[in-house]
């Protein structure tokens, strides 16, 4: 893709997003940090955090739009078609390194994660990210998760 096509794509995406306003020191539309659901906090002190919830949860039309965004933003390039895993982890196995709540998945997409997950918060407005989250959460878990019934093979030590 040449530079002109990339600029055109970004301009079209930007036209569909809501303008950001500054509200009490932070941009409106930008998510607050959330408190992870299952973490160990240093000294037992929880970090300050806001509430973040999926406004589009469990909506079939939104999940279908999220599927198109998942493919259009090349998420399937790492996570595979249907998000079953490829270079990146499976998003259907319900095993989450950084948390599997809607808010935690949103934060992983918005801010990115170490070792390969890019931050899409600068390229996608929050409503588009929520559509991707809704799509991911709508996917059925696989019938067989390979490591659920892992057993050591005799002689492989």
CB atoms within 10 A of CB 141: 11
- pTM for this prediction: 0.65
Q: Would the pLDDT of 94 be above 80?
A: yes
Residues 37-49: pLDDT tens digits? 555 666 766 666 6
Q: What is the pLDDT of residue 105?
A: 93
| Structural domains of the chain sorted by starting position, each given as residue range(s) with its CATH number in brackets | 58-142 (1.10.760.10)
CB 59 within 8 A of CB 134: yes
CB 64 within 8 A of CB 136: no
CB 117 within 8 A of CB 21: no
> Looking at residue 1, what DSSP letter applies?
-
Residues 106-136: pLDDT tens digits? 999 999 998 889 999 989 999 999 999 999 9
Distance from C-alpha of 21 to C-alpha of 44, rounded to nearest angstrom:
35
Q: What is the pLDDT of residue 8?
A: 57
The number of helix segments (H) and strand segments (E) in the chain equals 5, 2
For the segment 7-19, the average pLDDT, to the nearest whole number, is 55
Q: What is the pLDDT of residue 134?
A: 96
CB 129 within 8 A of CB 110: yes
């Amino acid at each position: 893709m040449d530079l002109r096509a990339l600029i055109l794509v970004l301009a079209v995406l930007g036209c569909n997003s809501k303008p950001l306003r500054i509200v009490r020191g932070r941009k409106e539309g930008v998510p607050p940090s959330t408190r992870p659901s299952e973490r160990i906090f240093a000294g037992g002190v929880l970090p300050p955090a806001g509430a973040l919830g999926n406004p589009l949860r469990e909506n079939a039309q939104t999940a279908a739009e999220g599927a198109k965004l998942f493919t259009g933003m090349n998420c399937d390039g790492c996570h595979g078609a249907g998000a079953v895993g490829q270079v990146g982890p499976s998003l259907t196995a319900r095993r989450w390194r950084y948390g599997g709540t809607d808010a935690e998945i949103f934060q992983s997409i918005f801010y990115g994660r170490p070792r390969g997950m890019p931050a899409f918060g600068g390229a996608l407005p929050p409503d588009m990210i929520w559509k991707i989250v809704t799509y991911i959460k709508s996917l059925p878990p696989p019938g067989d998760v390979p490591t659920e019934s892992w057993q050591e093979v005799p002689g492989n030590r």
